[in-house]
Amino acid sequence: MTRTFGAHLAVSAAEAGSRTALVFEDRTWTYAQLDLAVRRTVARLDKYGVRKGDRVVMQGAARPEALITLFAVTRMGAVLVPLHPQVTEGELGVVCEETAPCAVVGDSTFPEGTGNRLAWEDLHVDDEVSAPAVGEPPAGSDIAIIAFTSGTSGRPKGVALTHDNLYWSMVNGLSRLPVGQDDTALVSTPLAHVAVLGGLPQYTWARRGTVILAPRFEPDLFIDLVRDHRVTCAFAVPAMSALLARHPRFGGGELDTLRWILSGGSPAQTATREQFRARGVGVVNSYGLTETAAGVTYSAADDPAASTGSPVPQVELRVVDGTGAPAGAGSPGEIWVRAPSVADVYWTAAGTVPVTDGEGWFHTGDRGLFDAEGRLSVVGRLKDTIITGGENIDPAEVENALADFPGAVEVAVSGAPDPVWGEVVTAFLVTATGTPTLDEVRAHLDGRLARHKWPRRLCVVPALPRGATGKLQRARLTTLLDN
């Protein structure tokens, strides 16, 4: 496998050009047609002055032109900076300040930015323009993508992912995921998500399967696409999986071709995973971050444990205590990762900042633990730990125990300031019907959790605060208490 990002697409075009590569609404591209579109876009980018090493900021709209631009920019040795389609003027300004792009690509609703502003129509024209001969191909150590993390506070960080990082991410995924040329994968997350840049669609194209691109995520649309295109696998963050599992059409025959879903961002909660397994759909939990270029651990699709599985062969993973010493099995600590898929630096206007320590370890800030079989469970963020009356409580443990609370659609747990206890465990529930009481919630936990882990406060809310990629913004939960 050639290490340049996107090389698998060109190889498949040459060797299996007639196979279907991409479907979007009523349009279909074979591998040969998709590669031709990439080559034409390379020519257009060259015409507009994009050169090797230049940064190109792109709105991460869920449309085929964005995927074609991703491959074209990286093929010519330039650097793609993908953003969520709902990026604001202020967020765009930060990214442009950090990356100094030579061009900003988007649609008619894309905010004005610095540098050349190119509409999709400027780059994607079905004419006979031929691509110029690309000079020396990018090296493995060259940056291919700068992916900005979707932090809940503070200035976002641009993770500089090299061609090598993305190559090893593909090796990671293909070593564990059962993707083959007969698979049809559904992508319904924003294209700026690392799970798209280095995840399931790339694995599918490497195996010469078919990718179905959804313009957005809606449960009804998701089920329609699975039915109409006989989708066999899909990526979903836990919030998506939970909505699907509770949908009235979930139990029908329209999902019969779906063999497994890949859960990223955080593990699918136990209740959701059980519903999918009862439906005959396996759930592959994974652990990965933007800095690791997608997954570094994967569970088996039929594994009943609530873990993210074991590290892939190319990945070293530690769980360490406060001194940096390895924690024993069953003991929580910070997760450290060392692997060729881990980025070396964050990109900033003032220069690059190391991602890893002097020995190459990335300190993730996530809390996890290994079980006796070496499987990793992620139990939260270090800064999210609730300390109440001197006891440490992981919010994820309480959330998992409440996931099957009657009528609950979504569950989140956080610590709320308290003058006596320091913090008190606080549950936030989105319910389908009714307004439960705190006593009912605590009764549900009786026998499941130690009493000191039970919520002392309950807040029933219409929705949980989530970021652009669907990740829970835990830091914003306590602001709901004032509403």
Record the tokens describing residue 41, joined without a space.
Answer: 């876009």
pLDDT at 133: 54
Residue from 400, 460, 457 nearest 434 by CA: 460
CATH class of 385-482: alpha beta
Residue range 205-214: mean pLDDT, rounded: 97
Selected from 3.30.1960.10, 3.90.190.20, 3.40.50.150, 3.40.50.12780, the CATH number assigned to the domain covering 177-333+362-379 reads: 3.40.50.12780
pLDDT band at residue 2 using 50, 70 and 90 as cut-offs: low
For residues 439-459, average pLDDT: 89
Indicate the pTM of the whole model.
Answer: 0.83
pLDDT higher than 50, residue 220: yes
Sequence-ordered list of residues with C-beta below 8 angstroms from that of 403, at least 6 positions apart, any chain = 269, 270, 271, 272, 411
For position 360, what pLDDT does the model report?
96
Kindly report which listed range (32-46, 174-188, 296-310, 464-478) carries the lowest average pLDDT score: 464-478
**Choice between 471 and 233, residue whose per-residue pLDDT is larger:** 233
Q: How confident is the model at residue 162 (pLDDT cuts 50, 70, 90)?
A: very high
The larger pLDDT score, comparing residue 57 to residue 133, is at 57
- pLDDT tens readout for residues 121-155: 888 776 655 555 556 789 999 999 999 875 434 56
Contact status, residue 438 vs residue 402, Cβ threshold 8 Å: no
Of 433, 373, 345, 421, the C-alpha closest to 158 is 345
User: What does the pLDDT read at residue 151?
Assistant: 46
Residue 233 has pLDDT above 70, yes or no: yes
Fold classified for 7-171: Rossmann fold (3.40.50)
**Among 257, 262, 251, CA closest to 226:** 257
Supply 315's token pair: 């990945």
Per-residue pLDDT averaged across 420-441, rounded?
88
The pLDDT score that the predictor gives to residue 122 is 83
What is the pLDDT averaged over residues 458-462? 91
> Which of 90-94, 154-158, 175-179 is the most confident on average?
175-179
- Reduced to 3 states (helix: H, G, I; strand: E, B; else coil), residue 343 is coil
Amino acid at 133: A
Residue-level pLDDT at 42: 92
- Res 152: pLDDT: 38
| CA 213 – CA 185 distance, rounded (Å) | 9
Whole-angstrom Cα distance, residue 219 to residue 230?
A: 16
Among candidates 315, 78, 284, which has minimal Cα distance to 200? 284
Q: Do domains 177-333+362-379 and 385-482 have the same CATH topology?
A: no
Q: What is the mean pLDDT of the chain?
A: 88
Backbone angles phi, psi at 401, to 5 degrees: -70, -25
How far is CA 226 from its chain centroid? Answer: 20
- Give the neighbor-by-neighbor strand order of the sheet with 103-106: 116-119, 103-106, 55-59, 79-83, 143-148, 158-162, 345-347, 353-354
DSSP 100: -
pLDDT, one tens digit per residue, over 254-284 is 999 999 999 886 666 777 888 999 999 999 9
List the structure tokens of 172. 């990671």
Please provide the size of the chain in residues: 483
Query: How much is the average pLDDT of 286-296?
Result: 93
Per-residue model confidence (pLDDT) at position 168: 96
Domain boundaries, the chain: 7-171, 177-333+362-379, 385-482
Strands (E), 193-263: 210-213, 233-236, 260-263
Most confident of 4-18, 144-158, 233-247, 385-399: 4-18
Q: For residue 1, what pLDDT is reported?
A: 52
CA distance 172 to 443: 43
Q: Sorting pLDDT into bands at 50, 70 and 90, what band is 423?
A: confident
Instruction: Report the pLDDT averaged over residues 322-351.
Output: 93
Q: How far is CA 56 from CA 134, 207, 434, in A?
A: 17, 28, 49
